[in-house]
Amino acid sequence: MLISRRALALLALTTLAACSATDSYVPAGGAGGGGSGQGATSFGGSASGGASVTPGGGGPNGGTTPTGSGGSASDTGGTTATQTGGVSGGGPGTGGSVPTGGAAPTGGTATGGVATGGVPTGGVPGTGGVGGIDALTPTENEVCGKDEKLNAQGYIVMSNMWNPNASGEICVLPYSDPGRTYSGFKITSCSVNSSDNSPAAYPAMVAGWHYTFKMAGHGLPKKVNEATSIPATWNYKAPTGKHNVSFDIWLHPEASVSNPGGGMEFMIWVGNSGGVQPFGSQSGNASLAGGSWEIWTGNVSSDGNTWKYVAYKRTSNLGSFEDLDILPLLKDAVSKGHLDGSWNILGIEAGFEIWSGGCTGAETKYYTVMVN
């Protein structure tokens, strides 16, 4: 399957960092066309390596979100329970006053009244939350469909309904974080359904390089063997339908490229639901980064380009997390001969790869990643 390239439309919000001469420039706050919906490549079932596939996207799967009352908790299972008392817990506030009768929230004092599901009501957004992160600010513009995207404070948020065989619609409301390093989004409407084994859409946040555009910063690009850590923090509410939750990392021998040909797409599935599987075939296992992982490998061909594909799929779902170092997974792939340590990490994406089912209301409350 081929992914078309459309010129990016302009919608001014913030200023994007400069692109290389080989990459298309994403206008500041640009909501509109341009750039194919190239992302993580996944299928609903096993497929032989080397099969031709249109890349989609990846996205972490939350699993159960336990009641928050003093800090974030790892999600387990596939259902979502209600968080109360703010994103990070603490005693519920009354009328915007400092909460009493409970432990102080991690990293800050919750304000803004009683919060349900981490979103304060009856007052200003709470300060505190998991890790002391304030509530991010919704932007004024949704992004919808295949190619629309928006600069949300150093990250590109895209709706990315890339699969031409999918039906329905998806719209995403980006969150901004002025002066800080976090991003997020909420799926405001979603009725997508894939008629093949590929995902219908990959709403995600992009740091660094993506197919046809890129954002400067976040320590990118950097060679794998020169990186010392890649801490990622991600607080999210996962979809309830057939989906996964994953990182999608692009690597290449060159530091500046216009397409992924000759490089690698490296996925990290932190959760999934509905029996979905990565592209290719399972070729091994690993135990590291706090979990057990299946390793999937294959070769992807799209739009005249071919690249390697590797996915680490966690055997049990991981919920929201703080400062999870994902570099050991890349280093493990190097040690197993799947990846060359001299290759450059170009871009890191994080989002929800959706095949079908309930996805309206799924949300990244905040997310950040840095390559050190």
CATH number of the CATH domain containing 155: 2.60.120.180
pLDDT tens digits, residue range 258-287? 999 999 999 999 999 999 999 999 999 999
- What share of the chain has pLDDT > 70, as a percent? 64
Closest CA to 110 of 364, 101, 122, 96: 96
> Which pLDDT belongs to residue 81?
34
Burial 89-127, CB ≥16 within 10 A → b, else e: bbbbbeeeeebeeeebbbbbebbbbbbebbbbeebebbb
Residues of the chain whose pLDDT is less than 70?
Answer: 1-134, 180
In a domain, 99, yes or no: no
Sort strands 156-158 and 149-151 into parallel, antiparallel or unpaired: antiparallel
In a domain, 167, yes or no: yes
pLDDT tens digits, residue range 140-152? 899 998 889 998 8
Q: What is the DSSP code string of 76-120? A: BSS--PPPBSSSS-SSPPSTTSPP-SSPPPTTS---SS-EETTEE
In a domain, 329, yes or no: yes
In a domain, 330, yes or no: yes
> Which pLDDT belongs to residue 339?
98
Q: Structural domain tally of the chain?
A: 1
In a domain, 146, yes or no: yes
In a domain, 210, yes or no: yes
> Which pLDDT belongs to residue 72?
36
What distance, in Å, lies between the first and last C-alpha atoms of the chain?
36
In a domain, 344, yes or no: no
In a domain, 114, yes or no: no
Contact 246, 317 (CB under 8 A): no
> Which pLDDT belongs to residue 133?
67
Give the domain range for residue 23: 1-63+135-264+302-339+349-372
